[in-house]
Amino acid sequence: MQRIRLRYTKRGRLRFTSHRDFQRAFERALRRAEVPMAYSAGFTPHPKVSYANAAPTGTGSEAEFLEIALTQPRDPRELRDLLDASLPAGLDVVDAVEARVPGLAERLTASVWELRLDGVAEGTAQRAVAAFLAAESVEVERRTKNGMRTFDARAAVVDLRVVAESRQGGGSAGTAPCAILRLVVRHATPAVRPDDVLSGLRAVADLAPPVPAAVTRLAQGPLDEESGTVTDPLAPDREAEPAGRTTAPGTAAATAGGDPVPA
């Protein structure tokens, strides 16, 4: 049985698809591309697909990961192209490698997020970020299936900074500021999500964007604690590839201060 690991994106309007919506679309793409899937046993067999740490509904992502099991070997690059062509634009398969080193899910220890705050000036965002980072803890509340839960949103944050300010609008009149934050957060229990950090910014500095923030995951993978870099989780599989064989390039490392290089 061959196992293939894929990186895919959620872009544009497709950021509003739920994880279950994506699962349905992906299983249709597998059938459309005639992928020789392995199936589970039992009365209702399902394709053997393992999803890892999916982004919340409503957030975009450049770094979602899954693993599929095949009954016949396939070239990862050709499989990537077939599946990408079988999915709607916005759900794009951008990388594929053969699984050669166990433990993909365990490699996803941190994420890099971009938060676009329309209507927020850079100076206002800088003061809120400074207050958040200076706090020893920032308690926030989130509703879960077991009711409201209070937890510390500060402890999981490795880095948070304002990286840019753009202007929204077509001319000098009527333009509005838009602060862009870069967030590096550890994957902890309970998980700290970008909206939890936004709640923390509101709690410590009364930062309340006039419209909901546009949130995009730029990268996820192993965290280098010393540099704050989030690296490519598929790199160990690529490095274990036999000599003379190559697969598609993966995501470059990303930090809170710089953009990842797109594949």
Mean pLDDT for 229-245 is: 88
Q: Between 165 and 262, whose confidence is greater?
A: 165
Strands (E), 99-221: 110-118, 139-144, 147-152, 157-168, 176-186, 214-221
pLDDT score recorded for residue 130: 98
Which residues have C-beta within 8 Å of that of residue 176, sequence separation ≥ 6? 118, 119, 167, 168, 169
CB 170 within 8 A of CB 142: no
CB 64 within 8 A of CB 219: no
Best CA proximity match to 214, nearest among 111, 90, 115, 120 = 115
Of 93-97, 133-137, 161-165, 215-219, minimum mean pLDDT range: 161-165
Q: Is a pLDDT exceeding 90 seen at residue 37?
A: yes
pLDDT score recorded for residue 35: 96
Mean pLDDT for 44-68 is: 94
Residue 194 backbone phi and psi in degrees, to 5: -55, -35
Which H or E run contains 234?
Answer: none
% of the chain surpassing 90 pLDDT: 76
The pLDDT-based confidence of 148 (bands split at 50, 70, 90) is confident
- Which pair of tokens denotes residue 95? 């990388």
Residue whose structure tokens are 């919506």: 21
pLDDT score recorded for residue 169: 54
Helix, strand, coil % (nearest 5) of the chain?
A: 25, 35, 40
Which residues have C-beta within 8 Å of that of residue 216, sequence separation ≥ 6? 15, 59, 60, 61, 62, 113, 114, 116
Q: What is the pLDDT of residues 244-257, one digit of tens each?
A: 655 444 444 555 54
pLDDT score recorded for residue 167: 63
Q: What is the pLDDT of residues 58-103, one digit of tens each?
A: 999 999 999 999 999 999 999 999 999 999 999 999 999 999 999 9
Question: Is the whole model's pTM more than 0.95, yes or no?
Answer: no
Cα 145 from Cα 17, distance rounded (Å)? 20
The pLDDT-based confidence of 170 (bands split at 50, 70, 90) is very low
Cα 150 from Cα 222, distance rounded (Å)? 27
The pLDDT-based confidence of 263 (bands split at 50, 70, 90) is very low
Treating both helix axes as pointing N-terminal to C-terminal, what angle do 194-205 and 122-134 enclose, rounded to 10 degrees? 90
pLDDT score recorded for residue 149: 86
Q: Is a pLDDT exceeding 80 seen at residue 112?
A: yes
pLDDT score recorded for residue 172: 47
The pLDDT-based confidence of 168 (bands split at 50, 70, 90) is low
Interior angle at CA 205, CA 203 and CA 209, nearest 5: 85
Structural domains in the chain? 2-107+233-239 (3.30.70.580), 110-221 (3.30.70)
Q: Between 211 and 164, whose confidence is greater?
A: 211
Classify the C-alpha dihedral 187-254-241-2 as positive or negative. Answer: positive
Query: How far does CA 183 lie from the centroid of its chain?
Result: 12
